Structure 1
């Protein structure tokens, strides 16, 4: 059953990638030398997949500029897994950078931001936490929140 689930997840990721590529083509942005992977947060210059935070310094770098949706999650968390395709789609189709922080691997960051349950999401705007959301969120609400700050 796990293999079928992994295949479905991979297929969904591929659809998300294709939608992002199509959007970039229509905006004339595809074909650069990796600038879209840099994660600077500038509109049109955001990664099309979530950025997995490596450490505290990397976290600060990712949230420093632009609009960044940060998903504090755990691999064992059922609601986090439910939220994952939504987060991936938002990364692929909005001008916000999406970052993921594994609370088990980065307990210090989770503590620093007062994360007591997962999923917990923050919306950062130019390095400052603007919103905090706890629990599974629907895609429309997340899109509306991002649109208010882009």
Structure 2
């Protein structure tokens, strides 16, 4: 009988957002994926809730990994990236932070931003 330990590990597919718990996990995700869109959010934040279906669609339909960071559970991580308001989206390309967007942006704008780094 074989044991599937991969089911206990974080998903390797990028079709769903990866929920981040701590700086080490975010660094690991950024290191393993060429493009990572990181959504710093809070459950109580109305604009964050409006943005959630957009980031889920981008995770499913683009070649970017989408990471979600709950700022209430990861206050130090949010502070380390200078997050002062939510939602804040940070885009990483090739392991480096390349963009920061504060507030809600449309799916088309975010898709175009991801594509600009995918080429």
Flag whether TM exceeds 0.5 (same fold).
yes
- Tell me if 1:121 matches 2:83: no
Higher strand share: 2
The structure richer in helix per residue is 1
Measured on the aligned residues, the alpha-carbon RMSD in Å equals 1.3
The alignment of Structure 1 onto Structure 2 pairs a total of residues equal to 109
Name the TM-score, length of structure 2 as normaliser: 0.88
CA displacement 1:101-147 (0-9 Å, x = unmatched): 00000001100000000000011011100000000010000000000
Partner of 2:45: 77
Structure with the bigger RCO (C-alpha within 8 Å, sep 6+) is: 2
Q: How far apart, CA to CA, are the structure 2 residues paired with 1:55 and 1:109? A: 7
Secondary structure of 2:98's match?
strand
2:54 corresponds to: 86
Deviations 1:21-73 (A, max 9, x none): xxxxxxxxxxxx88xx32xxxxxxx4110000021100100112300000000
The gaps in structure 1 that reach 5 residues or longer are 1-32, 39-45
Q: TM-score, normalised by structure 1?
A: 0.70
**Structure 2 counterpart of 1:57:** 24
